[in-house]
């Protein structure tokens, strides 16, 4: 697995699985019917945001991650990151590899901490992954997410220092 900077040429390979993940409505606070132009602008907004992709030895897209300041101005020393792993590449440690890579990247960019604002509490694999990468739950928004089958579930704010 290679993790490298995303380029504009990667988007056509990102969009099909990103669209599928967002449409499922189980993990992201994005409009489930997001159009491609909006999705691209959200995922690849340009500096100061960064995006990377994970590809296998044959160059097949496995997943992608985005790194950006979580707040602006006096809050821009805390990073935010988002992750999308192709369902076809599940169970291969892509999320963990992207997480570790983005933590290193955030450190290199000078961020002091990383924060996730909206981890869906029912997304147990994600919560367990971030805990294993030393994130702690520092906040909980009661019923902040409408899950398509579980109804209202909490959103977690997760954080770690870098």
Footprint of a second copy (CB under 8 A) = 22, 25, 28-32, 34, 71-78, 112-113, 115, 117-118, 138-148, 155, 157, 159, 161
Rank residues 47 and 142 by Cβ distance to a second copy and give the closer one. 142
Q: How far is the CB of 146 from a second copy (least distance, A)?
A: 4
Rank residues 87 and 151 by Cβ distance to a second copy and give the closer one. 151
3-state secondary structure 115-156: EEEEEECCCHHHHHHHHHCCCEEEEEEEEEEEECCCEEEEEE
Q: Beta-strand (E) ranges in the chain? A: 2-5, 50-55, 61-69, 78-85, 113-120, 136-147, 151-161
Rank residues 17 and 28 by Cβ distance to a second copy and give the closer one. 28
Q: How far is the CB of 39 from a second copy (least distance, A)?
A: 12
Q: How far is the CB of 92 from a second copy (least distance, A)?
A: 27
Q: How far is the CB of 75 from a second copy (least distance, A)?
A: 4
Provide φ and ψ at 100, rounded to 5°: -65, -40
Rank residues 1 and 34 by Cβ distance to a second copy and give the closer one. 34
Query: Which tokens in the block code for residue 142?
Result: 């009661």
């Amino acid at each position: 697995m290679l993790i490298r900077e995303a380029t504009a040429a990667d988007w056509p390979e990102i969009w099909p699985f990103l669209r599928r993940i967002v449409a499922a409505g189980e993990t992201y606070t994005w409009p489930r019917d997001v159009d491609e132009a909006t999705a691209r602008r959200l995922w690849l907004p340009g500096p100061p945001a960064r995006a990377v992709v994970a590809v296998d030895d044959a160059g097949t897209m496995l997943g992608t991650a985005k790194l950006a300041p979580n707040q602006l101005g006096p809050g821009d020393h805390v990073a935010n990151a988002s992750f999308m792993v192709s369902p076809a590449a599940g169970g291969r440690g892509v999320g963990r590899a992207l997480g570790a890579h983005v933590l290193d990247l955030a450190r290199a960019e000078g961020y002091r901490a990383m924060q996730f604002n909206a981890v869906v509490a029912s997304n147990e694999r994600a919560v367990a992954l971030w805990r294993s990468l030393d994130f702690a739950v520092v906040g909980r928004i009661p019923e902040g997410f409408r899950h398509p089958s579980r109804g209202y579930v909490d959103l977690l704010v997760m954080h770690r220092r870098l």
